[in-house]
Structure 1
């Protein structure tokens, strides 16, 4: 067995197998929703072989010390009204057939109390928690009110990392006082700092990160990248306490997205002729469908074209194109996953820190598209997992879609088999 790339605190599992719950553990907590009953869903995760969950813990909302219109933001967190992206009259809700953005809303949640409830359930079922923040990337977009979004975005860019570090320190103190410090597997200053409304990590982030590590030297603390510089890992700033990086190989998916121009914004010919060939017969025009509130697009990284396109395309037609064209991309995608995983692991070994692949493997697909959940996607995931294990990775996600709020959660046999492979490697 290959040794881990770096040491791990003795009280943590020898390997982590992670299910990605992101912000959905509070934005999909509607009655009957995938996270309605936290104890039940933690029990289910443990039964599938997972020992770790990765979440947005909303540190700025809960412990940022910010105000909006003279009211502490933390007060709003006690009765946070979840809306999702809102509704289109006569056409359903925006994001209804997307991943992550399909939140129906219609309820309020005490985020702080729910966080403690999650840790208590995790303890009962032998799970540890990877703490991250998606707040400068997505989380506030799901609230009915813009207060959370406006409060954190009023903070000047150069102060945002320091704000995050202070909020995390206070949250860690609170979790410690509640008896949950040993349940913290990893703290990420922020998710995907390279794809969020933050400066480059080297512009104040590394300093804030190192300060947080000095305050809590017994914890693993880092920041994650959505696309680390795989060909030039030396460009990463000093101070990362773990190599928690994401490995996506879009390949054939990227080719299709470019063909239909679905990730752009403001295209004059949207939907273009190619995308029209993928739309459902009952699809409204973009003008008929309308758009979510403008601030919600500024609060997230997903465009209105992607929301419309994923909501109204035919997933079977989408998957068929991917399968028909995958052959030309297969070797490139396999090599890309392998080379990126190896680069991450070797950098981690050089820095003597644990390596974690917290997201992967293909990319952002429609909710009911099954290409990544099918034989091709599973084979790519298994290739990435085997490569990571053989190079000493400590933590792995099976697939970003292997979580309660995605259809892949129903593939129980595959999850159990891969989790067993990771934990017994």
Structure 2
């Protein structure tokens, strides 16, 4: 591949790095996120990566999307030969999806990465490289070193540092003959949601998308300079309709996370789950019957002492963690079902509109597009709304819509992965993946 495929010849002109010919015509994506290493201890879903990969392929997936811990392994001056990870602290976060770590894990970081690539090669899986490090990955460490190193980087330089770390990672796996496993690379997960936006003069989600662009542009340019043959991009939570002007010019794939929320937003907004703990509406939450007996005061449900740094290392709302840890999951599901009908039409309309909008952006640029997470939202660990009949039908609906708009890649659901209960619904995942793979390839990846 020519080394100048990314050259900008004039303002507005960009030649995207093409999708490699050996990659699948459609990507059926399973969200292994940071769990593939955080949840690798005894009895955990990723203790045996070979078994996890075999189960992933059996369900019809051909791609995993991961936090490759690039900053830790290649961007920080830290000894990564003996990494120890564990839960956040005691029972804190144990009712939260992705956070319910039951066993500690200890490994050599680069050896773990090699193992992942070799396992994926054996099972025919491809990898979307990303990072969750400026959102939560470091919060599982038993030492603050990882988080301290992340926080020490000037916010203006964080995207470039990530780009360099990811470029080093690509070189590392290339030297091992494993580069062909990479589908494409993301500078970071959900770039406008987390510590990449620190210091920006922006107070809304859409404003952050636009204000962040210069930082992203520098990071993308650095990666392209160092790895001109590797497609690179950034991704966004939801689909940033109203801020498309902020999407960097030099992306090679457009990837978004269409979480429609809808009825779930009713809970989030009614009980201010992403607001400060000091104003958590305890009386209203109890009146709705959502708390289990014995729940402490919300502002007491925090990590203190020498591990207090973890509260900064994760961006999940503190009120949300409190409710998810102490929720009556059955009551939570019932609350959603009782209110779902008033949101049903709008949720479907938003999902269709967002997928159409994402397709339009990508087609206008001549690049492939994918959906890396979605569909309803972030429910408590033991809630089953998204795994139940309503959520499962959204999975089928979203797969049909992903195929209709010509997506290169999509997911069954963010919760369809080895560390979530939806993993048990094999039939749903096989149907969704088989349907998506059976449709015509998108025009941007023929």
The CA distance in 2 between the partners of 1:348 and 1:371, in whole Å, is 32
- The one of the two structures with greater contact order (alpha-carbon pairs below 8 A, sep at least 6) is 1
Q: Which residue of 2 aligns with 1:104?
A: 102
Find the counterpart in structure 2 of residue 347 from structure 1: 361
Write the mapping of 1:332-371 to structure 2, written as runs, cut at 5 A: 332-371=346-385
Question: Which residue number in structure 2 is paired with residue 82 of structure 1?
Answer: 85
TM-aligned CA distance change 1:236 to 1:287, over 3 Å? closer
1:326-383 per-position Cα deviation (integer Å, ceiling 9, x unaligned): 0100011001011001100110011111101000001111011011111111222222
1:261 Cα shift?
2.7
- In the alignment, is residue 18 of structure 1 matched against residue 29 of structure 2? yes
CA–CA distance in structure 2, aligned partners of residues 294 and 239 of structure 1: 38
What residue number does 2:247 align with?
236
Partner of 1:69: none
Distance in structure 2 (CA, Å) of the matches to 1:388 and 1:318:
29
Change in Cα spacing, 1:281 to 1:185, as seen in structure 2 (3 Å) is same
1:40 correspondence with 2:51:
yes
In the TM superposition, what is the alpha-carbon distance from 1:84 to its structure 2 partner? 1.7
The residue that corresponds to 1:126 in the other structure is 124
Aligned to 2:436: 422
Normalization by structure 1: what TM-score?
Answer: 0.92
Tell me the SS of whatever aligns to 2:410: strand
Consecutive aligned runs of 4 or more in structure 1 exceeding 6 Å deviation: none
**What corresponds to 2:141 in structure 1?**
143
Residue 386 of structure 1 pairs with residue 388 of structure 2: no
Aligned Cα root-mean-square deviation (Å): 1.8
TM-score (norm 2): 0.88
State the SS of the aligned residue for 2:291: coil
- CA deviations 1:262-286 (Å, max 9, x no partner) are 2222333542332462111243444
Q: Output one character per residue of 1:114-161: Cα deviation in whole Å (capped at 9) or x when no partner.
A: 111011111111100000001111100010111100011101111111
Deviates more, 1:205-214 or 1:410-419: 205-214
Task: Determine the C-alpha separation between the residues in 2 that align with 1:379 and 1:310.
Answer: 24
CA distance in 2, matches of 1:58, 1:182: 19
Listed one character per residue, the Cα deviations across residues 366-408 of structure 1 (whole Å, up to 9, x for unaligned) are: 0110111111112222222212211110000110000010101
Question: Structure 1 stretch 46-55 or stretch 102-111: which is displaced more?
Answer: 102-111
> 3-state DSSP class of the match of 1:85?
coil
8 Å Cα contact 2:278-2:299 kept in structure 1: no
Question: Any unmatched runs of 5+ in structure 2?
Answer: 1-15, 198-210, 440-446
Partners of 1:230 and 1:284 lie apart in 2 by 39
Matched positions, count: 408
Please tell me whether the aligned partners of residues 132 and 189 of structure 1 are also in contact (alpha carbons under 8 angstroms).
yes
CA contact (8 A) 2:395 2:432 kept: no
